[in-house]
Amino acid sequence: MNNGIIQFAIQALANNPQVANTQIGKEFMNILQTGDYQRGVNLANNLCQTYGDSKEDAIQKAKNYFHM
Amino acid sequence: MPGIQGYGSYGNYQQMQTGVNNQGYGNYGMQQGVQNSFSSNQQTMRIQPSALPGRVVNQEQDILPNEVPMNGDVGFFVQKDLQKIYAKTWGGDGCIHTNVYQLVSMVNGEDQAPDPMSVISERLDNIEKAIREIRRPNYPKKNYNHRYPNKEREEKVDE
């Protein structure tokens, strides 16, 4: 994954300790720091499934959120 | 000075008071007096209880993922008929974890729900009785070999 995006995500989490201290936040931070791609994919898939979104919808929502 | 929200900030509120007066809790009466003299310059401080996240739902399926707090708190969703309470929280795996609390009606401090073991043993007794009944020598036997009664009937008609 793009190193810039990883650094951005780590920084965003670090700036929001309320989110970073949650179970999911800690897991996400751990994935970003270790670079465990497969765990990241599993987490993303679980989130999509829980929200009832497809992978494509989720990516589009994320892009919209970050004005990409 | 902004109003203090929730009980979580109450500790800071007390610390701030101590800092202003340079006194410990031992001189609480004097602390109050000093505080009153400052009260005209201060905004009213209200300590509001934090609201419990969640709502009343008809069934579990009505709970949307967006309603479960992402900040690590547990969302409590009370079923409308008060039979169950769903406690939902986000797990580290990206799934929502649910604990269900079920109603146990109590009368005079005693549990009114039937003992699960007695329910099971009652059902076992019923099965045992049924088996005994079937094994009785004069139990009317049914012919289960007629697997295709309609077909046989048709054959008879053909003859």
pTM above 0.80, yes or no: no
A34 part of contact set with chain B, CB < 8 Å? no
- Across the range A45-68, mean pLDDT stands at 91
Would you call B93 exposed, middle or buried from its count of C-beta atoms within 10 A (0-12, 13-18, 19+)? middle
Asked if A13 and A20 touch (Cβ cutoff 8 Å), the reply is yes
Q: Do B93 and A50 touch (CB under 8 A)?
A: no
What is the reported pLDDT for B26? 39
Tell which of B74, B89, B90, B98 to mutate to test the A interface (max A CBs under 10 Å). Answer: B90
Of B65, B66, B90, the CB nearest to A22: B90
Q: Do B94 and A24 touch (CB under 8 A)?
A: yes
Of B89, B92, B95, the CB nearest to A50: B95
- Across the range A5-9, mean pLDDT stands at 85
> Which residues in chain B show pLDDT less than 70?
1-44, 141-159
Q: Do A24 and B65 touch (CB under 8 A)?
A: no
What is the reported pLDDT for B99? 95
What is the reported pLDDT for B7? 39
What is the reported pLDDT for A51? 92
Residue A16 to residue B38: CA distance in whole angstroms: 35
Q: What is the pLDDT of residues A16-38, one digit of tens each?
A: 888 888 888 889 999 998 988 89
Q: Do B65 and A52 touch (CB under 8 A)?
A: yes
Of B70, B71, B94, the CB nearest to A43: B94
Q: Do A52 and B91 touch (CB under 8 A)?
A: no
Report the share of chain A in percent with pLDDT over 70: 97
What is the reported pLDDT for B140? 74
Q: What residues of B are in contact with residue A36 (Cβ under 8 Å)?
A: none
DSSP 8-state class, residue B5 = B
Average pLDDT of every residue of chain A = 88
B86: number of Cβ within 10 Å: 21
Q: What is the pLDDT of residues B76-101, one digit of tens each?
A: 999 999 999 999 999 989 999 999 99
What is the reported pLDDT for B5? 41
H helix intervals, B89-142: 116-135
